[in-house]
Amino acid sequence: MTFERLPYLAAFLLLVVGLYAIVAKRNLIKVIVGLLVIDYATNLFLILVGYRSNSGGAPMAPILTRDLAPAQLAAHAVDPLPQALILTSIVIGLSVTALVVAMAIRLYDRYGTFDTGRMRNLRG
Amino acid sequence: MRNLLPLFVAIPLAGGFLMPVVGRLLGPRRRACALIPILLAAGVLALAVRLVLLPDAQTPPYWMGAWDFPVGISLVADGLSKFIVLIVAVVSLAALLFSTDYMTRYTSPGLYYGLFLLMLAGMNGVVLAGDLFNVFVFLEVAGIASYALVAFGTEADELEASFKYLILGSIASAFVLVAVAILYSVTGHLNLAKIAEVLRAGGGLTVPIYLAAAFLLMGFALKAALVPFHAWLPDAHPSAPAPISAMLSGVLIKACGVYVLVRLVFSVFAGLEAFGVVLVVLGTLSMVAGAILAIGQGDLKRLLAYSSISQVGYVVTAIGTGLVLLAWAPGKPALQALAVLAIFGGLFHLANHAVFKSLLFLLSGSIEYATGTRQLKSLGGLGRSMPLTAWSLRIAALSISGVPPFAGFFSKFIILLVLVQAAVLGHGAFWLVAVLALAVAVLTLVYYAKVQRAVLGGAPTAATADAREVPFSMAVATAALAVLCLAGALVLHPAVKRRIVDPAVAVLVARGLPRSEGSLLQGLPQTEQPEVAAARALEHPNPTLDASDAEVIP
Amino acid sequence: MRGMSLIVKNTTRLVAGFIALFGAYIVLYGHVTPGGGFSGGVIVAGGLVLVVLAFGEEFSRRVISHNIVRASDSVGALAFLGIALLGYLAGAFFSNFPDWLGQPRALASGGTIFLSNVAIGVKVAAGLFGVFLALALFRRRGEKRLMVPDTAPLDAEDEE
Amino acid sequence: MLLLVLLGFMVIGSLVAIETRGLLSSIICVGAVGFALSIVFLLLGAPDLAITQVVVEILVLVVLVRVVITRRDETYATSRSTLAIGSVLLVLGILVAVVFWALGSSGGAGLAMRPFGNPLLNETAPASAMAPVGAEAPAPVAAETIPRSIGGAYLARGLGRTHAANYVMGIVLDYRAYDTLGEATVIFVAVIGAYAVLRQVGRDRHARHEPDR
């Protein structure tokens, strides 16, 4: 168990916590919370994968500011690609959340509760 | 000429963005809404036909934004993706045609057609993507559109089914994304072909790669509804409006599930035997469980949904068998010819299933439209009152149960033949698979006979007494698919086969072979590209399958 | 939904404009500084949501009609696709075709990146605000719908 | 170190969010986890993501809080039986153990998960590693070494043709703009999907027979 893999473990723990919420909880809102946690976990994992430690100090964002030379940036900045992927992934997570909340309030409308134990097909 | 590939995504996307506005402008004229989507789908179909007819050399990978290899995203159309794109285009045109009249029962047609076209764009995007993350993005496009469409009727059952589908689908997507991250960390690439190359060059798969592969398998097996991961399908597919059920069962689980699964296993993970075994096991499980669960169903659409699980099981079993045989093939031409046949059988069955299962779901929609019910016990006597629907139903049911002159017979027969041969020439364990496949074929025959008798035979019931034939557009859509069902056996004709199916088979055979053994394709010259060699091998299939090669198989 | 107390309303009056301005800034300078069309769009949507929460839906309906919100959702998406298709005509799908790429760090730089940011910003702001309205205004079946005469209900297209 | 503290906070916070009794407190807790994630983004050199995560989190919180406070629901305590939860926990525990072992194992031959903070970006390879599949690397540059991942290729191009000083935006809107089109489509789909789900009347009832549901 070295430090260099510990952050990955945290990301997977988060993923598992989200899965646990979805499998074990019988409440639509709790399930949505689980979904949010899973989103966090995947985004966290991606950013961890792209991180590059900068020996000279704080990690360098891949943005070319006035006092930086492009070569300097290329040698020290963190990986910009996972950031682009996470941007997309956050948006997808938000979209799914919007849709699932719409379904949850519609189901509340039908049953008067968020409890899946009272719903016919979601019990199992 | 310009490269056609971006249009496959751009055309349905433009329609999808436009339709919600058009729907509002047209207001209550619901039929008129269908015009634009039908025209666009016909355009996509025309493009797909053009794409299939073009030789591979004229459809090079298309680099988005003119960026070249390491930084850009590519669209790739090889034999396999062309084949799937064609199937998707055919089924979606039929489903849209059917929707014209069927969807007058539902409100907000603008939203419906918008979601439909966006789902189509998502599927085309997945099938043509040459970049792993891009596959994920378009998978989500198609997936989210299908979640919303399943709930389109906004009844409690439909919402619940859709909720379950959404949750399981999102979990699958999360696993896929984690696998993408692992593969990026390990290989430094997202381009599918490049990942494959790096993995091959790295010599043997390592534990992290297997982990990524397991996540991807899990994610896409869930999208394909293979058995341990099938829980959402029997709820989601029956809940959707009939044309959407036809799209989901007919093409979505294939384009977003089976296709990606096969592509990853064959191309990216370089066709390892172990993956083939996993596919065979999952496929056999789905085949058996789907058929057993289908028998007891009283709801027509639910029965069809379980039947989809079972039939997709056939497809996956056949392709997995092909992969296993390819892994054993070096030095044994008989096994290689058998592997080619297995993959051909699997893809042929995939196409057949797309046609007859979407037809069956559309027909279930016709029946529900005419009678208001889809419970088998309250149906009956429709043979006389709805002749066209009845004949289409007979054709589809006979084809899916594998009765001789129909296409379904040939694909199932090829698969069974391959399984038996694999048991004889390869490993004895295939006997079990072959016997189960035969038993499932018999079961399928039984429950479709039950469906035909319940729906068509007997005296008209209270629900069906005043049933009339369905409106024009629905009749046209179902009749067209029924004709396709009848004509399906034509695929076996060499002229058609060479154009449509063989390139797809060639892609898989070439990729599935262990790379260093590429030149072992029946003594072909070393300089030939594996794809060309495989295509050559297809034209001269080796019919001398006998037991003489059997003893050396591990 | 009636809106909240006077204090909240007054604060919102002060703040909402700044939020919208900040969102627009993030959108427009996305290619130079952190941010971009998406985050800027979300900020604009957030500002609009604040107005709705503070003043109630009737007020907001008078200011922004839902039809416009929904239409600009489509328009933003189509504009983004249009940029891609213009690139297709100019050579390659999504090619960054204009030659006025400009100096780095200037507002008019980055070619289509700037235009794409604006299109996405409009799309995201309209889409998310629209969803919020739909969620907030959803009423239980049988509950009385508060109708404002000059605006259409959400599914007006279906009233035949 | 701060990073590990934050990660620990996220894991514990999400556990609290799931196990707490009230739905409202559950949502507040998960919001806290989201804000922690945005600080993690900031720490790891991703200000774009930090901004995006914060604004998205605010919007999600506003919507969820509004959904929950306007609806009464006394049944939030229901959970599955202890046995079921126990088996779920067992399976998930095994999953974590297997995953952690798998990520840690090097496999020897170099195709291993890169350790945290030291991605493939730091490794160099001959230029042929960045050649497209099937193409021969041009001979003169074969000796040159470049980063081994495409992230490095983006960094190496610098402003390149995009002229975007913000490299992430350059990727999102130029190099990989097609992904972003897909992303915009996803929002659009979800938005009209939500409109579709929230329609008051899903289907007309003037069909000749009532569906028997």
CATH code, domain with A77? 1.10.287.3510
Chain B, window 333-372: residues with a beta carbon less than 8 angstroms from a chain A beta carbon? none
- Under the banding of pLDDT at 50, 70 and 90, the label for residue B516 is very low
CA distance to partner chain C, nearest, from residue B165 (Å): 21
For B225-246, letters b (16+ CB in 10 Å) and e give bbbebbebbbbbbbbbbbbbbb
**Chain A environment of C105 (Cβ under 8 Å):** 66
How far is the C-alpha of D48 from the C-alpha of D46, rounded, in Å?
Answer: 5
As a whole-number percent, the residues of chain B with pLDDT over 90 amount to: 54
pLDDT at position D132: 65
Contact (CB, 8 A) for D64 and A101: yes
pLDDT at B322: 92
Q: How confident is the model at residue B345 (pLDDT cuts 50, 70, 90)?
A: very high
pLDDT classification of B520: cutoffs 50, 70, 90: very low
Which one is predicted more confidently, D202 or B326?
A: B326
Chain D: residue whose CA lies nearest to A85: D172
User: Which chains reach chain C with 3 or more Cβ–Cβ distances below 8 angstroms?
Assistant: A, B, D
Tell me whether residues A20 and D116 touch, CB distance under 8 A: no
How far is it, in rounded angstroms, from Cα B152 to Cα D86? 37
B353 or C149, greater pLDDT: B353
The alpha helices in B188-296, defined as continuous H runs, are: 192-201, 207-224, 233-239, 242-247, 259-263, 273-295
Q: Rounded mean pLDDT of chain C?
A: 76
C72 in contact with D, Cβ within 8 Å: no
ipTM of the complex: 0.90
Distance in angstroms (rounded) separating the CA atoms of residues C124 and C118: 10
Nearest residue in B to C85, CA atom: B10
The reply to whether residue C155 touches residue D200, judged by beta carbons under 8 angstroms, is yes
Contact A114/D103, CB-based, under 8 Å? no
What lies within 8 Å, CB to CB, of B541 at 6+ separation is B337, B340, B341
Q: In the numeric block, which tokens belong to residue B269?
A: 């993970």
pLDDT above 70: residue C106: no
Examine the pLDDT at B547 and tell me if it is beyond 60.
no
Q: Which has the closest alpha carbon to B335: B74, B507, B521?
A: B521
Would you call D176 and A62 a contact, using CB atoms and an 8 Å cutoff?
no
Helices (H), B329-428: 333-371, 382-385, 387-400, 407-421
Residues of chain A neighbouring B163 (CB-CB closer than 8 A) = 28, 100, 103-104, 107, 122
pLDDT bin (cut points 50, 70, 90) of residue A56 is low
Is the Cβ pair A63, C34 closer than 8 Å? Answer: yes
Contacts of A31 in chain D (CB under 8 A): none
Cβ of B181 within 8 Å of Cβ of A82? The answer is yes
Residues of C in contact with B21 (CB under 8 A): 70-71, 74
Who contacts B424 (Cβ-Cβ below 8 Å, separation ≥6)? B547, B550
Torsion (CA) D115, B271, B169, B299 in degrees, nearest 10: -160
Mutate to test the interface with D, among C38, C103, C138 (most CBs of D within 10 A): C38
Chain C residues whose CB is inside 8 A of the B107 CB are 155, 157-158
| Of B190-199, B374-383, B459-468, minimum mean pLDDT range | B459-468
Which of B71, B107, B120, B135 should be substituted to probe chain D, the one whose Cβ sees the most D Cβ atoms within 10 Å?
B71
Q: Is D56 close to C46, i.e. CB distance below 8 A? A: no
Residue range of the domain that includes A99: 3-52+73-118
With CB atoms and an 8 Å threshold, state whether D110 touches B112.
Answer: no
The more confidently predicted of residues B458 and B293 is: B293
The answer to whether the Cβ–Cβ distance between A36 and D118 falls below 8 Å is no
* Contact partners, residue B487, CB within 8 Å, separation at least 6: B407
Helix axes B79-102, B109-128, angle to 10 degrees: 170
- pLDDT greater than 50 at residue B467: yes
Instruction: Please provide the average confidence, as pLDDT, over all residues in chain B.
Output: 86
Q: Among partner residues A63, A91, A98, which is closest to C131 by beta-carbon distance?
A: A98
**Alpha carbon of C140: minimum distance to chain A alpha carbons (Å):** 5
Chain D residues touching A16 at Cβ < 8 A: 92-93, 95-96
Q: Which residues are B129's β-sheet partners?
A: B75
Highest mean pLDDT of the ranges B405-419, C111-125, D71-85, D153-167: B405-419
Pick among C131, C140, C159 to test the D interface (most D CBs inside 10 A): C131
Among the partner-chain residues D55, D190, D198, the one whose CB lies closest to the CB of C43 is D55
Let me know if residue A14 belongs to a domain.
yes
pLDDT band, very low/low/confident/very high, at D131 (cuts 50, 70, 90): low
Residue with the bigger pLDDT between D10 and D92: it is D10
Identify the pLDDT of residue A46. 93
Are C117 and D169 an interchain contact pair (Cβ–Cβ within 8 Å)?
yes
Size of interface B-C (CB pairs under 8 A): 57
Which of B18, B65, B108 minimises the CB distance to C74?
Answer: B18
User: B117, B148 in Cβ contact below 8 A?
Assistant: no
CB contacts under 8 A, D 148-207 vs A, are 149-152, 154-156, 158-159, 165-168, 170-172, 176, 179-180, 182-183, 186-187, 189-191, 193-194, 197-198
Tell if the CB–CB gap between B73 and D103 is shorter than 8 Å: no
Residues of B in contact with A83 (CB under 8 A): none
Cβ A90–D34 below 8 Å, yes or no? no
Measure the CA–CA gap between B236 and B244, rounded to whole angstroms.
10
Q: Does B71 touch chain A (CB under 8 A)?
A: no
Domains contained in chain A, number: 1
Look at B424-428, C151-155, D71-75, D107-111 and tell me which has the smallest mean pLDDT. C151-155
Chain C interface disruption, residue of D166, D167, D175, D183, most C CBs within 10 A: D166
Which has the minimum average pLDDT: B294-303, B370-379, C2-11, D43-52?
Answer: C2-11
| pLDDT band for position C157 (cuts 50, 70, 90) | very low
Rounded mean pLDDT, B277-295: 93
